[in-house]
């Protein structure tokens, strides 16, 4: 690494974090616009779900392939291509006139995100060669991912209050332009100098396997976990990923050296990231609805109430890297997951009329502290187990574990919630003599239940609304306890498998860096 790059390293980190924020925010910003999209585009519930999930599906499926692209052809090139594609497809999304067009644009945005996300972490690792500085930089990078989870609802709520729904996508254009311009000047070019021939079969097997598995996870709560399409897609995805592992072991120049999973530091850290984001995204899926539909906040008001989560994560993530130097990775990651579990247990105690300034905000801050303690050290363990030349693929593994964990969390926690909510609301309303079609609508979701309540006679409407909100809280409690159990299991795995420290803590080795 030359002196110019070393001098610019913190400015380079700012460019990488800006790019990262844009991609992660887009995971959550669209959620607050779903009611508007339903009205303006006449979108069905299934279409609205795919407006959200098309981005996640393509993003997760292509991460490993595009991490390899960056290693082979240059991480700066991957970042720039991703920013251009993300901006162009955001423009398409903003001016979509049908739900199908919007779903297609969201899928294309996922392609851009899959270029950007692994490139940011891979460039970070090659720029920060001092081990302690790299750990601090990864802590800041991780803080940005937590910050983005909360900024999505806030940004989306503000834009929807002042502009049309297309603004939530148009806002990406100036951000991408700034990141692209600064990146062209500041970010150095780096690649794997010994990438070997392209692993075409590995690319196909990894993308198709992850894509089918994620699709099955997304669709399972609606089609049924044992339905034929889910069974076929899930099984095929697992078979393709198994074939990918066999092929990679035999390939002289693999896309991913699967023998890395023999390294407990790499494997346990990957599992820690997966469990953390399983629990987090499953909970976020419910808490945003709780704040709006049960406690009656507007999208902007609900978004603002997630800011303490962002602040707590942002403060804790860099401090976690300092704690690692004193207490070791094992202790910090396991503590972080255990603290997350405590936060979810606290959240399971909230009720319909629980004040925000009490159990609600304290549970969110507790989770955020746990997330900050977990993700930075776990990410550093994943990247530290790899040579810098393979930083792109290593980053892609880290990012894929996040996406898979988050997608599975939404599917499983959402499925548990739906089962509890449906049974509870039916039990509460069973003696009111309501028509079957009304009961079926109320069972569908709390939003549908509140909508139906507004059309019913005054003597039953309050009871229907109250039953729907109380049943939602029951479902939230059950979902929170599932998230707590997964996070606690992750803490036990970290204690059992994660090494206390890297076996040979040394300075990061240089990789092929060419000044821009």
How far CA 203 is from CA of 236, 248, 265, 399, in Å, comes to 16, 10, 25, 16
Q: Is 138 helix (H, G, I), strand (E, B) or coil?
A: helix
pLDDT tens by residue, 164-175 = 999 999 999 999
Cβ-based neighbour number of residue 510 at 10 Å? 12
Contact assessment for residue 331 and residue 374, using Cβ atoms and an 8 Å cutoff: no
Q: pLDDT: is 274 or 289 the higher one?
A: 274
Radius of gyration of the chain (CA): 23
Q: Which of 258, 261, 259, 255 is nearest to 201 (CA)?
A: 255
pLDDT mean across residues, the chain: 84
Most confident of 73-87, 252-266, 386-400, 414-428: 73-87
Q: What percent of the chain has pLDDT over 70?
A: 93
Say if CB 156 and CB 168 are below 8 A apart.
yes
Which residue, 215, 356, 375, is CA-closest to 287? 356
The token duo for 120 is 């940011």
Mean pLDDT value across residues 200-226: 84
Point out the least confidently predicted range of 28-37, 76-85, 89-98: 28-37
pLDDT of residue 506: 40
Residue 348 reports pLDDT greater than 90:
yes
**What's the whole-number mean pLDDT along residues 449-456?**
80
**So what's the pLDDT on residue 44?**
66
Q: Say what the pLDDT of residue 389 is.
A: 64
Q: Which residue has the higher pLDDT, 493 or 285?
A: 493
> In CATH, which superfamily holds the domain spanning 3-196+253-422+471-508?
MFS general substrate transporter like domains (1.20.1250.20)
Domain boundaries, the chain: 3-196+253-422+471-508, 198-252
Distance CA 41, CA 49 (A): 14
Q: Which two three-digit tokens encode residue 235?
A: 């099984």
pLDDT band, residue 388 (cuts 50/70/90): low
Residue 410 has pLDDT above 80, yes or no: no
User: What would the mean pLDDT of 281-310 be, rounded to a whole number?
Assistant: 82
Confidence check: pLDDT of 331 > 80: yes
Tell me the average pLDDT across 25-53: 77
What's residue 336's pLDDT? 95
Across residues 320-333, what is the average pLDDT? 89
Instruction: Give the per-residue pLDDT at 505.
Output: 40
Residue 200 pLDDT level (bands cut at 50, 70, 90): confident
- 479 vs 389, residue with greater confidence: 479
pLDDT band at 468 (very low <50, low <70, confident <90, very high): confident
Is the pLDDT at 516 greater than 50? The verdict is no
Whether 195 has a pLDDT exceeding 70, the answer reads no
Lowest mean pLDDT: which of 31-45, 103-117, 346-360?
A: 31-45
* Cβ 172 vs Cβ 21: under 8 Å: no
Question: HEC string of 276-333?
Answer: HHHHHHHHHHHHHHHHHHHCCCCHHHHHHCCHHHHHHHHHHHHHHHHHHHHHCHHHHH
C-alpha closest to that of 117 among 24, 25, 206: 24
pLDDT band at residue 423 under the 50/70/90 scheme:
confident
pLDDT at 216 over 60: yes
Measured over the CA atoms of residue 61, residue 64, residue 68 and residue 71, the dihedral's sign is positive
Q: Answer for the pair 56, 30: CB distance below 8 angstroms, yes or no.
A: no
Instruction: Give pLDDT, residue 294.
Output: 87
- Name the 3-class secondary structure at 225: coil
Tell me what the mean pLDDT of segment 146-171 comes to: 86
Greater pLDDT, 474 or 40: 474
In this predicted structure, what is the pLDDT of residue 454? 79
pLDDT of residue 370: 95
What is the spatial distance between Cα 17 and Cα 117, in angstroms, rounded to a whole number?
Answer: 10
pLDDT at residue 341 is higher than 50: yes
C-alpha span between 8 and 51 (Å, rounded): 39
pLDDT at 1: 57
Most confident of the ranges 84-93, 112-121, 189-198, 409-418: 84-93
255 three-state secondary structure: coil
3-class secondary-structure state, position 191 = strand
Q: How far is CA 161 from CA 22, 157, 295, 298, 299, in A?
A: 20, 6, 19, 9, 8
Q: Tell me, what's the pLDDT at 138? A: 83
Residue 189 φ then ψ, to 5°: -85, 135
């Amino acid at each position: 690494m030359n002196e110019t790059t070393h001098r610019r390293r913190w400015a380079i980190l700012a460019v990488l974090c800006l790019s990262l924020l844009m991609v992660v925010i887009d995971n959550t910003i669209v959620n607050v616009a779903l009611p508007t999209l339903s009205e303006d585009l006449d979108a069905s519930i299934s279409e609205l779900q795919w407006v959200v999930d098309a981005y996640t599906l393509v993003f997760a499926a292509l991460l490993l392939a595009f991490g390899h692209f960056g290693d082979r052809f240059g991480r700066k090139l991957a970042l720039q291509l991703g920013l251009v594609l993300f901006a162009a497809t955001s423009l398409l999304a903003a001016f979509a006139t049908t739900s199908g067009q919007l779903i297609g644009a969201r899928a294309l945005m996922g392609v851009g995100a899959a270029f950007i996300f692994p490139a940011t972490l891979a460039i970070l690792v090659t720029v920060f060669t001092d081990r302690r500085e790299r750990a601090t930089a990864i802590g800041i990078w991780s803080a940005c991912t937590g910050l983005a989870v909360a900024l999505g609802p806030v940004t989306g709520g503000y834009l929807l209050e002042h502009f049309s729904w297309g603004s939530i996508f148009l806002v990406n254009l100036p951000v991408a332009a700034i990141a692209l311009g600064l990146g062209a000047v500041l970010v150095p070019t780096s690649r794997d100098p010994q990438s070997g021939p392209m692993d075409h079969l590995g690319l196909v097997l990894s993308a198709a396997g992850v894509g089918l598995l994620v699709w099955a996870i997304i669709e399972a709560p609606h089609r049924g976990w044992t339905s034929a399409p889910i069974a076929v897609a899930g099984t095929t995805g697992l078979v393709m990923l198994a074939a990918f592992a066999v092929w990679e072991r035999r390939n002289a120049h693999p896309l991913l050296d699967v023998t890395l999973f023999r390294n407990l530091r790499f494997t346990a850290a990957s599992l820690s990231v997966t469990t953390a984001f399983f629990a987090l995204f499953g909970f976020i899926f419910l808490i945003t609805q709780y704040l709006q539909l049960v406690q009656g906040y507007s999208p902007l008001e609900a978004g603002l109430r997630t800011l303490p989560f962002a602040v707590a994560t942002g403060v804790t993530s860099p401090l976690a890297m300092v704690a690692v130097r004193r207490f070791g990775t094992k202790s910090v990651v396991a503590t972080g997951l255990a603290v997350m579990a405590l936060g979810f247990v606290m959240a399971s105690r909230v009720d319909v009329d629980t004040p925000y300034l009490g159990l609600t905000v304290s549970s969110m801050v507790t989770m955020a502290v746990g997330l900050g303690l977990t993700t930075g050290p776990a990410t550093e363990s994943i990247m530290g187990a790899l040579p810098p030349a393979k930083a792109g693929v290593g980053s892609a593994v880290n990012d894929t574990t996040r996406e898979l964990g988050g997608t599975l969390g939404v599917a499983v926690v959402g499925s548990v919630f739906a089962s509890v909510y449906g049974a509870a609301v039916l039990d509460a309303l069973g003696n009111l003599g309501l028509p079957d079609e009304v009961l079926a609508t109320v069972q569908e979701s709390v939003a549908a239940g509140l909508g139906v309540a507004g059309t019913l006679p005054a003597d039953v409407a309050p009871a229907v609304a109250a039953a729907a909100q109380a049943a939602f809280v029951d479902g939230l409690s059950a979902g929170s306890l599932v998230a707590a159990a997964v996070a606690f299991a992750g803490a036990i795995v970290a204690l059992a498998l994660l090494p206390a420290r890297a076996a040979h803590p040394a300075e990061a080795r240089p990789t092929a860096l060419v000044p821009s």
